[in-house]
């Protein structure tokens, strides 16, 4: 008999809708898998089993089946508060913090009928491309437990890849959805700025962080994305006059299921970080990129190489904005995670966080204004450069998944540089506010997944889903699973 986790997320939802699978039954199934496997994986910081089962009973009896995620288990990334549930932000400074109110995104997922099973692992304040923290043992990659799953949504990706969740929401300020999705053989979507109102990027410094889905397939990722967007009736619950461009407000699931169209695709291996860092792409990733180009060509898409305009100030500008964002973090227990910078002690934070915060506090208003202006200019140049293409293909990562302990824990500047070397193709998509999707398209000689990234036009998620689904139909990667799956 097929176990529930072996079905796609959408098929699980359909089974729930038909009454062939119970909401409590599905919730218990995933809780059992977490209990049996997460000890070696470290994907969760907190599991809320009793609360999840109580919620499942409530959903089954009282929540309309028409809600978009009715009865579907997920988990909150531990950067988001959930009322009454320990929320650590990946930091020892908040090891025992229990918020009295929830952040908006967990509420949107609840309104969609979802059931949170707990909190997934994340590095301290989500500031890194790995998921190692002094708070807890590191999250591990299901494909090889000696390797990391990437970050900062590393726990979420590890859980989905290992079949401990059907899908999971993540957040992405510089690659934090796409990096772990690629490392763990998953699909991850970084939506356009403004697409998901609950975490839109519009009200954030530099417009960088947005929320998006991590899933085992393109269809499942679109399914969760629709649930994350949030609607009042049929109208998207936008919070700002500025919003993501879109041809319509229809569901993305339809585009992913159909997977139709022929498009003009650019191929780019440039990174704006190359002006400030020595970047090397692993030859195995380069080979998979070539295979992907050949497959796209065989699918009758137009293919053309494209490069980025030189951006010698990008690295400095992005680093300045990242440091300024860290400077806003309050360490006083129970204080808001985003608030006016204070002079509290740095004793409980890790070296990288301490370095980022102190550098951020040394910045002048003029320096920050100049950095923000540079990122804005970069956004305009990049959108113009890519305007002749429906999508642009890049590697998701420059290197294969990194071993646990590879990142320098003592030297924060070296740690930051290593993050750039690992993932030089992700942060500039955030700076430009563009949508992007990563999906697994190949494997290394050690059977590790290799992902490729498609970057879209502003508001172009539907095209990305269509192209990605065409690739997925040929590759059938969603049928492959890591050793820990069984």
Active site residues: 77, 152, 176
Are β-strands 235-236 and 264-267 bridged in parallel, bridged antiparallel, or unpaired?
A: unpaired
Q: Which residues of 371-397 are buried (b: 16+ CB within 10 A; e: fewer)?
A: bbebbbebbebbeebbeebbbbbbbbb
Residue 132: closest CA among 159, 155, 102: 155
* Cα–Cα distance, 180 to 190 (Å, whole number): 12
Length of the chain: 486
Cis omega (within 30 of 0) for bond into 380: no
* Cα–Cα distance, 434 to 189 (Å, whole number): 11
Structure tokens at 255: 């585009």
Structure tokens at 447: 């059977």
Cβ 430 vs Cβ 441: under 8 Å: no
* Cα–Cα distance, 177 to 188 (Å, whole number): 6
Strand ranges inside 310-356, DSSP E: none
* Cα–Cα distance, 394 to 292 (Å, whole number): 10
């Amino acid at each position: 008999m097929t176990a529930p986790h072996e079905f796609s997320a959408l098929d699980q939802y359909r089974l729930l809708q038909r009454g062939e699978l119970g909401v409590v039954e599905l919730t218990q199934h995933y809780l059992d898998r977490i209990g049996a496997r997460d000890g070696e994986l470290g994907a969760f910081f907190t599991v809320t089993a009793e609360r999840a089962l109580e919620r499942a009973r409530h959903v089954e009896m009282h929540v309309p089946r028409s809600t978009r995620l009715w009865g579907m288990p997920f988990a909150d990334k531990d950067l988001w508060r959930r009322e009454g549930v320990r929320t650590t932000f990946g930091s020892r400074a908040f090891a025992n913090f229990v918020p009295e109110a929830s952040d908006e995104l967990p509420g949107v997922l609840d309104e969609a009928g979802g059931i949170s099973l707990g909190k997934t692992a994340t590095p301290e304040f989500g500031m890194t491309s790995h998921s190692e923290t002094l708070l807890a043992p590191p999250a591990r990659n299901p494909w090889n437990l000696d390797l990391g799953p990437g970050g900062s949504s590393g726990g979420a990706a590890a859980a989905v890849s290992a079949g401990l969740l059907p899908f999971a929401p993540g957040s992405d300020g510089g690659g934090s959805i796409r990096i772990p999705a690629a490392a763990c053989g998953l699909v991850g979507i970084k939506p356009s700025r403004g697409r998901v109102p609950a975490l839109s990027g519009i009200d954030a410094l530099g417009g960088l962080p947005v929320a998006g889905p991590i899933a085992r397939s393109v269809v499942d990722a679109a399914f969760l994305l629709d649930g994350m967007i949030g609607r009042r009736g049929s109208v998207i619950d936008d919070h700002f006059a500025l919003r993501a461009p879109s041809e319509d407000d229809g569901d993305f699931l339809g585009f992913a299921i159909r997977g139709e169209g022929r498009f003009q695709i650019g191929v780019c291996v440039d990174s704006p970080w190359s002006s400030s860092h020595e970047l090397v792409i692993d030859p195995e990733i380069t080979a998979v990129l070539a295979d992907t180009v050949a497959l796209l060509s065989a699918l009758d898409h137009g293919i053309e190489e494209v490069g980025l305009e030189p951006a010698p100030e990008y690295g400095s500008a992005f680093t300045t904005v990242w440091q300024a964002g860290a400077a806003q973090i309050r360490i006083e227990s129970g204080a808001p995670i985003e608030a006016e910078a204070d002079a509290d002690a740095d004793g409980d934070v890790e070296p990288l966080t301490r370095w980022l915060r102190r550098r951020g506090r040394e910045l002048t208003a003029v320096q920050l204004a100049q950095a923000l202006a540079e990122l804005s200019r970069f956004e305009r140049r990049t959108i113009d450069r890519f305007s002749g293409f429906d999508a642009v293909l890049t590697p998701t990562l420059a290197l294969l998944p990194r071993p646990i302990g590879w990142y320098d824990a003592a030297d924060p500047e070296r740690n930051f540089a290593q993050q750039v070397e690992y993932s030089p193709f992700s942060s500039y998509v955030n700076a430009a506010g563009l949508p992007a999707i990563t999906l697994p398209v190949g494997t290394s000689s050690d059977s590790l997944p290799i992902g490729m990234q498609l970057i879209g036009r502003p508001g172009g998620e539907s095209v990305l889903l269509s192209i990605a689904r065409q690739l997925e139909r040929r590759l059938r990667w969603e049928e492959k699973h890591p050793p820990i799956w069984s």
